[in-house]
Amino acid sequence: MIWEKTNIRINNKEALATAPLIISASRATDIPAFFAKEFMQKIRQGYLYKSNPFNGKKELISFKNSRLIVFWTKFPQALIPFLDELDEKGINYYFQFTLNDYEKQKLEPFVPPLQKRIDVFIRLAEKIGKEKVVWRFDPILLIKNSSFDEIILRIENIAKQIHLYTEKLVFSFADFSYRKVQNNLMRNGIDYRELSDSEKYIFAEKLVGKLKKYKLAISSCAQSIELSTLGISHNKCIDDELITRLFYNDKSLMNFIRPAQGASKLKDKGQRKYCGCIYSKDVGMYNTCSFMCKYCYANTSAKAVLNNKAKIFA
């Protein structure tokens, strides 16, 4: 997707910037948890620099045309105080909020305690509306001495507490095609196994049965397996249908989405094969998330995170 280009002035010089309509913040790192203040400073400034993960080149990104930010996070407490400012600026947003329970397995060593994360989830939903807070349990990772039933019980425990504060649960099975995922699990001595499609179907069937009483829509994220017979849809995290429902009064967004709704030209071809997301511009940077989850695809090592944290947006 070629977003519009615009000229902006930096240090009294003209510079050409990409001006996306939809911002993803971010698949590469947890901006709400660790860089909320810095991100808001860039919003006020009107632009930021994003580092290309493959060649290190800097891309200038302008917020001139930005009408929507999709936040990805495991703990957005630091960002919540800034949401009123985004409202005042007329910038739309919603959240992909990953709320897992791998505490006993210690797969997410530096995330806050589960109950604190649940409390923040509820506080966020009460502030902005449950329709703008999508719950993710991601990934489903089967490790030694764990079972489907145990994982589903953990998911249900969260559902009991937050089902009134969200409309949807999105899950995915761990994607071992990422070399960094394999390396991180091996380096941390995590004994895992990949699941067959039949095992995934059994898991999904059990999950639907256990959560039926909570009346949550359930979707799978970037999965090849077809689960529609269970009532599980293929998810779009950057979702034209949700955007249309939530922000139908935003003419710029609707002019972008409606002419192409249902057409393949909206699909973000830079994502995985089975990802349903429409186009957005991600502004994050790999190797900057301090949660250091042991299954992470976005971090290479703790040393890399330490070396890169100060470079985000720079």
Residue 263 pLDDT > 60: no
C-alpha–C-alpha distance, residues 225 and 140, integer Å: 14
Write down the pLDDT at residue 261: 56
Mean pLDDT for the chain overall: 94
What does the pLDDT look like over 224-239, one tens digit per residue?
Answer: 999 999 999 999 999 9
Confidence of residue 249 (pLDDT cuts 50, 70, 90): very high
Strand order in the sheet with 5-10: 5-10, 13-18, 58-62, 47-51
When pLDDT is averaged across residues 142-170 and rounded to a whole number, the result is 96
| Mean pLDDT of the 8-14 span | 94
pLDDT score of 262? 54
**For the segment 39-59, what is each residue's pLDDT rounded down to a tens digit?**
999 999 999 999 887 777 899
User: SS3 for 272?
Assistant: coil
Q: Is 13 exposed, middle or buried (0-12, 13-18, 19+ CB in 10 A)?
A: exposed
- For residue 283, the model assigns a pLDDT of 97
- Measured CA to CA, the distance from residue 27 to residue 282 in angstroms comes to 7
- List pLDDT tens digits, range 72-130: 999 999 999 999 999 999 999 999 999 999 999 999 999 999 999 999 999 999 999 99
pTM of the model: 0.95
Locate 231 and state its tokens.
Answer: 């009532």
